[in-house]
């Protein structure tokens, strides 16, 4: 059945891939973005599509349109961007959630919140299951994002309990792939850009902290499955449970790019999580979902993308 689906943050890294997938599935797609971190280049190939519409709008402000479903992805997602204007980050998460939930309530539309593994903070439980409440510094430099997303989850569940809004909530772990911003400060894009330019690869701390990296196609598959099913409202972790140290990632990027960049160690930022690995048992059971793209395969596709964009 063809639906009209709103994607906030639709010109961003994840949003643009989601818009593409929803069009492939036959839906009408309305992309909303204020282009703070999103880019028209990410969706330029969609602008002429007869079922695609772009609206420049800030989710801080209410939006009155006719939609059947809403994917709420709008928010700066990398430390460089969300710490650049922390107040705007909180407002995007909280006011954006209120406005999109209000729209969902008026339209009786199903709405999915793109939450984050950052709600777990610097976790004391490993791997992180959805039942873990987290270990977050509410006044630290990362709190604008961590607590903004936590508050958005609170709003989603309160709108569900009080106003019967049909919600879905996913917690997204580190995701990478083509259309990542080259200067967003995230570790995969950082390492690839530095390696391709021959610059030193910067590792924070001793490089022993771990992350789990999910390729974007796997993540989008999980999000669409979550939206389409009726068994669970969430939260549900979406991410790749294969765990790597940051040093292992750097060494893999160096090998795949053939770069001669050296490794350069810098102090660890405040509240940077030591470990990050999703427990995806709930996603596997409820969504029949598991990621398939191996790290090296995904990195090769991402490296190819950055080779093209850096040479433009």
Tell me which residues of the chain have a pLDDT lower than 50: none
Give pLDDT tens digits for 38-80.
899 999 999 999 999 999 999 999 999 999 999 999 987 767 6
Predicted confidence at residue 81, as pLDDT, reads 66
Residue ranges of domains in the chain: 4-175+216-239+278-292
Predicted confidence at residue 312, as pLDDT, reads 59
**Fold entry, domain 4-175+216-239+278-292:** Rossmann fold (3.40.50)
Predicted confidence at residue 270, as pLDDT, reads 72
Predicted confidence at residue 32, as pLDDT, reads 98
Predicted confidence at residue 184, as pLDDT, reads 78
Quote the pTM value. 0.95
Predicted confidence at residue 271, as pLDDT, reads 59
Quote the tokens at residue 286.
């409820």
Predicted confidence at residue 206, as pLDDT, reads 87
Q: Which of the residues are catalytic?
A: 145
In angstroms, the CA 289 to CA 234 distance is 14
Predicted confidence at residue 77, as pLDDT, reads 73
């Amino acid at each position: 059945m063809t639906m009209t689906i709103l994607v906030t943050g639709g010109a961003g890294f994840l949003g643009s891939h989601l818009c593409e997938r929803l069009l492939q599935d036959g839906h009408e797609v309305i992309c909303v973005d204020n282009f703070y971190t999103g880019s028209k280049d990410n969706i330029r190939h969609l602008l002429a599509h007869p079922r695609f519409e772009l609206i420049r709008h800030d989710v801080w402000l209410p939006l009155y349109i006719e939609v059947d479903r809403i994917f709420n992805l709008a928010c700066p997602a990398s430390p460089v961007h969300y710490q650049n204007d922390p107040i705007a980050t909180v407002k995007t998460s909280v006011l954006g959630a209120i406005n999109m939930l209000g729209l969902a309530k008026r339209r009786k539309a199903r709405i999915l919140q793109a939450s984050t593994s950052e709600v777990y903070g610097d976790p004391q439980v490993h791997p992180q299951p959805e039942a873990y409440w987290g270990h977050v510094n509410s006044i630290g430099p990362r709190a604008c994002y961590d607590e903004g997303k936590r508050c958005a989850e609170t709003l989603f569940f309160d709108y569900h309990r009080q106003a019967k809004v049909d919600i879905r909530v996913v917690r997204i772990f580190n995701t990478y792939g083509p259309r990542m911003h080259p200067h967003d400060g995230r570790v995969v894009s950082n390492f690839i850009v530095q390696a391709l330019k021959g610059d030193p690869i910067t590792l924070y701390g001793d490089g022993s902290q771990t992350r789990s990296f999910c390729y974007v196609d796997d993540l989008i598959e999980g999000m669409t499955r979550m939206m389409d099913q009726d068994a669970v409202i969430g939260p549900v972790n979406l991410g790749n449970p294969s765990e790597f140290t940051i040093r292992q990632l750097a060494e893999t990027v160096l090998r795949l790019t053939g770069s001669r960049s050296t490794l350069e160690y810098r102090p660890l930022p405040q509240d940077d999580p030591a470990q990050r690995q999703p427990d995806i048992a709930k996603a596997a059971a409820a969504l029949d979902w598991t990621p398939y793209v191996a790290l090296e395969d995904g990195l090769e596709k991402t490296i190819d993308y950055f080779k093209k964009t850096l040479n433009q």
